[in-house]
């Protein structure tokens, strides 16, 4: 049986039962609740018959004493052992205490040292920060005021090279820093002002030497452009790699920059003038077809050669025969406009063709010359813009100074020579299409030059084309007054030698339809409807209709006359039926109306 120990409570009121403690409960709490077995574990049998009580008592005492002594010795040994262990522990604890005391002292010393180090570190950090602040303020000043000797030697003694260019960049940077330092200096700091003035004088001397080196470098390159057979673009590429040198020179000495710029312009004016002059002479040796008055619509040479027939120049001309098939192949001639081939006919090939039986039309040399002109103009404008770094208007002026009188004037004369007295309307119209294409190419390249040149070309080409068209109109009017116009090569059984047959189209109608189809083939764009060629075709068409009306009046029978007109207009409408474009559609609609106006 177990009972919980008494609980401490507050003192109950006096005289109550709760104010007295239960003694038994207190003893139980001290001794515990385990039952004590007082029964001997073994039965002890003792023979005490011969002994007296005293003897028995003494015996028991002796026995107990022996056992107690033995137990005492055993316990003593244990205590001795324990004592030794305790002494050893005391010794170890003493040593540990001494070590801890020493460690405590060392720890205090280390703590003191760390505190001292921390204070020193903070002091050093403050000094470093102050030094950084001073360096940040002094570094630009020192760098701006001092030029390293290797930089000076490179500028004054070295040749222009990438290393020399790097040294010049360093000098330019120092000049900018010195200028900034000069702007923010203290006016009252005389020492700083004197240092800046001394550094400025040093930089000025180095700048003079750099300008001299750059002048010699550019002058040498300009002179090399006058060497025969030199690659101009290679020299320009080399100069562009060092364009910042001219920028430095032009800023330090503007007058010298203008002189060098003018020297370059004069040199390139001579270069391009001589180059294109030789090239134009080579193209002039190219054998060309001569298209004369025999191609006019109303020409009466039909009895002798016919329209688009082969012809032979007289003995005084160097041009050979040509055929109608070649001239009328407008689609083949139009390929030169549609082609994107960037190659041109080189001078050697043009000269080698002088004795060749192959003949060319005017568009071949014209394209080669103007394509070469566009390519060279593109390169030159890009160089002028990139190297001299002038405003766009000034760059265009510089370009015109190089090309205007030396190249463009020769090109204009060459165009007039090509056209000459030619009646090749196809060729002139192809030249106009080439000009339009080259203008678009320049716009695509974003090159704002040659606009005036091509405008002047168009000013010369359009009147030439209108003049040829007027010649065709005049030829038709003259043909209407000739008796030969009323004669048909193949008269029908119903016709006579002097009366046109009503069942066949007039030969002039065939020529007119073919010519009109060729012109419309060269006008595929919608913009052609607003070009001068549109009005020229209307005039030509009106004169052709007037011609047919006059010729048809020779036919006495009204029905035969209408049949004749219908057959002629039907032929024209049929030939034009496959053409595309706004201008062609207008002509198709017109001749379809004329065809429908006459009934069988």
Q: 428 Cβ partners below 8 Å, 6+ apart?
A: 362, 419, 422, 461, 464, 465, 468
Q: Are 441 and 342 in contact (CB under 8 A)?
A: no
For residue 204, give the 3-state DSSP assignment: helix
The C-alpha atoms of residue 240 and residue 243 are separated, in whole angstroms, by 5
For residue 360, give the 3-state DSSP assignment: strand
Q: What single DSSP character describes residue 530?
A: G
| Closest among 216, 211, 238 to 155, alpha carbons compared | 211
The CA-atom distances, in angstroms, between 136 and each of 170, 198, 528 are 19, 22, 71
> In whole angstroms, how large is the CA radius of gyration of the chain?
61
The segments of the chain whose pLDDT lies below 50 read: 1-20, 38, 41, 44, 302-324, 488-501
The CA-atom distances, in angstroms, between 170 and each of 147, 244, 357, 456 are 9, 13, 66, 50
Q: 567 Cβ partners below 8 Å, 6+ apart?
A: 502, 503, 504, 505
The C-alpha atoms of residue 14 and residue 532 are separated, in whole angstroms, by 142
Question: Hey, which residues does 360 pair with through a beta bridge?
Answer: 288
The structural domains of the chain, with segments of one domain joined by +, span 92-139, 151-252, 262-305+323-474, 480-488+500-597
Q: Which residues of 262-272 are buried (b: 16+ CB within 10 A; e: fewer)?
A: eebbebbbebb
Q: Are 400 and 272 in contact (CB under 8 A)?
A: no
Q: Are 553 and 488 in contact (CB under 8 A)?
A: no
The C-alpha atoms of residue 342 and residue 401 are separated, in whole angstroms, by 26
Q: Are 543 and 562 in contact (CB under 8 A)?
A: no
In terms of DSSP H, where are the helices of 480-531? 507-521
The C-alpha atoms of residue 349 and residue 538 are separated, in whole angstroms, by 42
For residue 130, give the 3-state DSSP assignment: helix
Residue count (the chain):
600
Q: 573 Cβ partners below 8 Å, 6+ apart?
A: 588, 591, 592, 594, 595
Task: Name the strand (E) or helix (H) holding 240.
Answer: helix 232-241
Residue 362 has a pLDDT of: 94
The C-alpha atoms of residue 170 and residue 432 are separated, in whole angstroms, by 55
For the chain, the distance separating the N- and C-terminal CA atoms, rounded to the nearest angstrom, is: 150
Q: Are 455 and 415 in contact (CB under 8 A)?
A: no
Q: What single DSSP character describes residue 97?
A: H
The C-alpha atoms of residue 582 and residue 584 are separated, in whole angstroms, by 5
Residue 266 has a pLDDT of: 96
Packing angle of the helix pair 330-338, 507-521 (nearest 10 deg)? 10
Residue 355 has a pLDDT of: 82
SS (H, E, C) 437-460: HHHHHHHHHCCCCCHHHHHHHHHH
Question: Hey, which residues does 116 pair with through a beta bridge?
Answer: none
Q: Looking up tokens 């065809």, which residue turns up?
A: 595
In Å, how far from its chain's centre is CA 171?
Answer: 31
Kindly report the CA angle at 73 between 68 and 75, in degrees rounded to 5? 90
Task: Transcribe 141-199 into DSSP letters.
Answer: HHHHH---HHHHHHHHHSPSSHHHHHHHHHHHHHHHHHHHHHHTS-TT-HHHHHHHHHH
Residue 189 has a pLDDT of: 53
Task: Name the strand (E) or helix (H) holding 248.
Answer: helix 243-252
Residue 279 has a pLDDT of: 96
Residue 330 has a pLDDT of: 83
| Closest among 390, 440, 130, 348 to 260, alpha carbons compared | 390
The C-alpha atoms of residue 216 and residue 446 are separated, in whole angstroms, by 33
Q: 290 Cβ partners below 8 Å, 6+ apart?
A: 313, 317, 319, 322, 422
The C-alpha atoms of residue 143 and residue 161 are separated, in whole angstroms, by 24
């Amino acid at each position: 049986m177990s009972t919980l120990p008494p609980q401490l409570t507050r003192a109950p009121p006096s005289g109550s039962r709760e104010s007295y403690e239960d003694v038994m409960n207190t003893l139980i709490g001290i001794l515990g609740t385990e039952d004590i077995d007082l029964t001997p574990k073994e039965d002890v049998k003792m023979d005490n018959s011969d002994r007296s009580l005293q003897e028995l008592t003494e015996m028991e005492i002796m026995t107990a004493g022996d056992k107690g002594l033995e137990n005492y010795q055993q316990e003593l040994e244990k205590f001795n052992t324990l004592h030794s262990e305790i002494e050893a522990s005391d010794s170890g604890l003493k040593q540990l205490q001494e070590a801890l005391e020493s460690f405590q002292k060392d720890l205090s010393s280390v703590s003191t040292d760390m505190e001292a180090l921390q204070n020193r570190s903070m002091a050093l950090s403050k000094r470093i920060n102050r030094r950084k602040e001073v360096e940040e303020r002094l570094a630009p000043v020192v760098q701006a005021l001092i030029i390293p000797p290797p930089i000076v030697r490179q500028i004054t003694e070295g040749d222009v090279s990438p290393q020399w260019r790097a040294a010049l960049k360093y000098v330019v940077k120092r000049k900018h820093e010195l200028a900034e330092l000069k702007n923010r200096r203290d006016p009252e700091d005389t020492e700083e002002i004197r240092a800046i003035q001394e550094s400025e004088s040093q930089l000025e001397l180095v700048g003079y030497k750099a300008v001299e080196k750059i002048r010699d470098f550019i002058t040498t390159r300009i002179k090399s452009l006058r060497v025969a057979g030199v690659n101009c673009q290679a020299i320009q590429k080399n100069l562009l790699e060092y364009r910042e040198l001219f920028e430095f020179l032009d800023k330090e000495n503007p007058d010298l920059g203008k002189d060098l710029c003018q020297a370059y312009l004069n040199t390139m004016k001579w270069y391009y003038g001589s180059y294109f002059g030789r090239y134009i002479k080579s193209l002039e040796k190219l054998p060309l077809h001569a298209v004369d008055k025999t191609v006019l619509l109303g020409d009466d040479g039909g009895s002798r050669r016919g329209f688009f027939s082969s012809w032979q120049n007289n003995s005084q001309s160097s041009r050979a025969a040509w055929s109608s098939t070649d001239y009328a192949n407008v689609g083949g001639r139009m390929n030169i406009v549609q082609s994107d081939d960037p190659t041109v006919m080189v001078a050697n090939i043009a000269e080698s063709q002088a004795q060749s039986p192959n003949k060319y039309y005017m568009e071949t040399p014209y394209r080669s010359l103007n394509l070469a002109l566009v390519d060279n103009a593109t390169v030159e404008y890009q160089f002028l813009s990139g190297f001299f770094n002038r405003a766009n208007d000034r760059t265009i002026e510089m370009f015109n100074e190089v090309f205007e009188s030396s190249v463009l004037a020769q090109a204009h004369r060459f165009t007039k020579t090509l056209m000459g007295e030619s009646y090749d309307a196809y060729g002139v119209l192809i030249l106009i299409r080439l000009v339009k294409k080259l203008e678009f190419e320049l716009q695509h390249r974003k090159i704002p030059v040659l606009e005036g040149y091509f405008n002047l070309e168009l000013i010369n080409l359009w009147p030439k084309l209108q003049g040829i068209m007027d010649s065709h109109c005049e030829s038709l009017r003259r043909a209407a007054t000739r008796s030969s116009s009323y004669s048909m090569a193949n008269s029908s059984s119903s016709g006579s030698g002097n009366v046109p047959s009503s069942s066949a189209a007039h030969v002039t109608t065939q020529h007119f339809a073919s010519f009109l189809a060729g012109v419309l083939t060269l006008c595929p764009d919608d913009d052609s409807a607003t070009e001068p060629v549109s009005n020229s075709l209307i005039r030509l068409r009106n004169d052709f209709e007037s011609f047919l009306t006059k010729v048809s009046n020779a036919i006495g029978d009204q029905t035969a006359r209408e049949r004749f007109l219908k057959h002629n207009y039907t032929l024209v409408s049929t030939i034009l039926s496959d053409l595309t474009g706004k201008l062609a559609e207008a002509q198709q609609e017109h001749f379809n109306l004329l065809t429908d106006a006459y009934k069988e």
